[in-house]
């Protein structure tokens, strides 16, 4: 095993580790949204039912945090292999077959989808920034353009992590065992 690791292309392994670390950081940062979502939701409920007060901006902030959580944590979900998978056959595959499925699936399905989301999402967010789009609700958050910016950002992060996964699976198919950072769960 040590001999195999010493033959692993160092540049590819370094790139995989860098992208894995970046996905871990975005996953941890996104997890912060959960605490804020809970705090704001409790405050909204207390204000509404305890004091008959409401805040559209507070309610919208929960939606923004929810979007932040899921959009930015997608790359971490791919890295930690905790994404949704139709696992009827996959779970019984050998490690080599799984590597083939992951590498080809990433190249054929995920990378083109991410590229399309970056391309179209960029235009969508750019138009929103151009008019500094605001909430349609009175008292809402005047920064819809920030929320729409999550689309190309999330797709870019997912695209980068997909590249790391395809590269790692391809290296394993070539007989190398790239060192991957541990998954923190």
Model confidence over 128-160: pLDDT tens digits? Answer: 999 999 988 888 899 999 999 999 999 999 999
pLDDT tens digits for range 53-89: 988 999 999 999 999 999 989 999 999 888 777 778 8
pLDDT tens digits for range 12-62: 888 888 999 989 899 888 888 899 999 999 999 999 999 999 889 999 999
pLDDT at 123 (0 to 100): 94
Instruction: List, as one string, the DSSP characters of 76-145.
Output: HHHHTT-S----TTGGGS-HHHHHHHHHHHIIIIIHHHHHHHHHHHHHHHHHHHHTT---SSTT--S-HH
Q: Phi/psi class of residue 94: alpha, beta or left (left: φ > 0; alpha: ψ in -120 to 50)? A: beta
pLDDT at 185 (0 to 100): 39
């Amino acid at each position: 095993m040590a001999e195999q690791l010493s033959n692993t292309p160092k540049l590819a392994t370094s790139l995989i580790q860098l992208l894995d670390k970046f996905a871990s950081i975005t996953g941890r940062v996104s997890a912060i949204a959960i605490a804020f979502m809970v705090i704001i939701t409790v405050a909204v409920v207390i204000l509404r039912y305890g004091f008959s007060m409401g805040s559209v901006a507070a309610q919208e902030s929960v939606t923004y945090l929810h979007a932040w959580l899921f959009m930015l944590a997608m790359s971490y979900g791919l890295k930690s292999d905790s994404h949704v998978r139709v696992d009827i056959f996959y779970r019984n595959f050998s490690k080599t077959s799984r590597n083939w499925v992951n590498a080809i699936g990433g190249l054929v399905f995920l990378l083109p989808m991410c590229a399309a989301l970056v391309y179209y999402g960029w235009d969508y967010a750019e138009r929103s920034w151009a008019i500094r789009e605001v909430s349609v609700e009175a008292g809402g958050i005047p920064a819809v353009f920030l929320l729409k910016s999550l689309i190309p950002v999330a797709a870019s992060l997912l695209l980068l992590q997909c590249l790391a996964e395809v590269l790692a699976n391809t290296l394993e198919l070539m007989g190398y065992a790239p060192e991957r950072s541990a998954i923190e769960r």
